[in-house]
Amino acid sequence: MGLGGTASCYEGMFLERHPVVLKRLDRLDARLELRFSREVAVWKQLKHPRILDLIGLHTHGNTKYMVSPLMMYGSAREYLKPHLDSNCTLKVLLQTAQGLEYLHNHEPNVVVHGDLYSKNILVSDSGDIRIADFGLSMIMEEFFPDQYSLSWHNGGNIKWKAPECLRLIDGQPAPRTTMSDIFSFGRVIVELTTLKEPFPDIPDQYEFWDHIKDGNILPPRPTDEETIARGLNDELWRLVEDCCKDAELRPTAAEVVRRLEAMLVSQA
């Protein structure tokens, strides 16, 4: 879980028996504090097995901390490293998609994650997925455009961002949508089957930006044995391709869930 230079994380205990993570929120002026408070209020309303609980905000002096349960296995990518097993990979992907489906159908207001990648997909001590950090990177882009805007070519986690979100509109980051979350999910599939970030041969973000401006949106399909063993077969690759299409052609989260469920059944 992280927001770069805007937050620091610490482990602690809640009520002396529950391991938690405290995320210290730095550089909070009055406007930013209000936005975070609103975002926290939304997050606390989210109740679903695939969504990380937010215990609340803790204030110590002038410093605020977001408090959430500690996820013992860390990120999904770290969790999958010792598991050369397509069923395990598909379970992680399915549970992540189920979390997105819940967010995208949340009432009364749809929730867009906005920064989906493996470090925000956490694994509990039971081996189940919890999605974390909703909307926080979008707030940081709004309040610190000099650090987070695309003009600096470092707007969050650029390799997972949908191409329509890699544009500035009147000097502001383009809005993120449920369909931009789906694009990010397609990149997550590649990340969790290869255990590498997308486009690993292009580590420089400036170079990556130039690469995708030329229309190279879809990562090269990996063909090594380990990636195939982790489940990246023809059917899963078609899902990657569909998630990386133009926004209006991408599947919904519900459709992604249905397809992943069918893949798991076919492997049973």
Here the tokens at position 98 are 């189920």
Indicate whether 65 and 78 sit together in one domain: no
Q: What is the CATH number of the domain that holds 82?
A: 1.10.510.10
Q: Is residue 160 part of a domain?
A: yes
The Cα 86–Cα 264 span in angstroms is 9
The domain boundary residue, chosen from 37, 69, 101: 69
Domain hosting residue 129, numbered range: 74-266
Position 1 in a domain? no
Q: Are 116 and 221 within one domain?
A: yes
Bridge partners, residue 10, by sequence = 22
**Positions marked catalytic:** 115
90-134: pLDDT as tens digits? 999 999 999 999 999 998 888 899 889 999 999 999 999 999 986
> The domain that contains 50 carries what CATH number?
3.30.200.20
- pLDDT-derived band at 267 (thresholds 50, 70, 90) equals confident
| Claim to verify: residue 57 and residue 119 sit in the same structural domain | no
Q: Confirm whether 2 is domain-assigned.
A: no
At what angle are helices 136-143 and 30-45 packed, to 10 degrees? 170
Q: Is residue 55 part of a domain?
A: yes
Q: Are residues 181 and 87 in the same domain?
A: yes
Same domain, 161 and 135: yes
Per-residue pLDDT at 26: 64
C-alpha to C-alpha distance for 119 and 115, rounded to whole angstroms: 10
* Mean pLDDT of all residues in 239-267: 97
| Banded model confidence at residue 21, pLDDT cuts 50, 70, 90 | confident
Q: Average per-residue pLDDT in the chain? A: 83
Q: 61 with 90, same domain?
A: no
Instruction: Express as a percent the part of the chain with pLDDT over 90.
Output: 49
> Could you give the CA distance from residue 96 to residue 25 in angstroms, rounded to a whole number?
26
Contacts of 126 (CB under 8 A, 6+ apart): none
Q: What is the value of pTM for the model shown?
A: 0.86
pLDDT of the residue at 16: 67
Helix (H, G, I), strand (E, B) or coil at 177: coil
DSSP code for 51? B
Q: Are residues 142 and 35 in the same domain?
A: no
The answer to whether residues 123 and 238 belong to one domain is yes
Kindly state whether residues 58 and 82 are assigned to the same domain.
no
pLDDT in tens, 162-212: 998 887 666 666 778 999 999 999 999 999 999 999 999 998 888 888 888
User: In what helix (H) or strand (E) does residue 47 lie, and over which residues does it extend?
Assistant: none
Residue 27 sits in the same domain as residue 83: no
Classify residue 217: in a domain, yes or no.
yes
Rounded average pLDDT over 215-226: 90
Count of domains for the chain: 2
Q: Which tokens in the block code for residue 105?
A: 């159908």
pLDDT tens-digit profile of 130-174? Answer: 999 865 545 444 444 443 333 333 345 889 999 988 876 666 667
Are 44 and 96 found together in one domain? no
- State residue 154's pLDDT score: 38
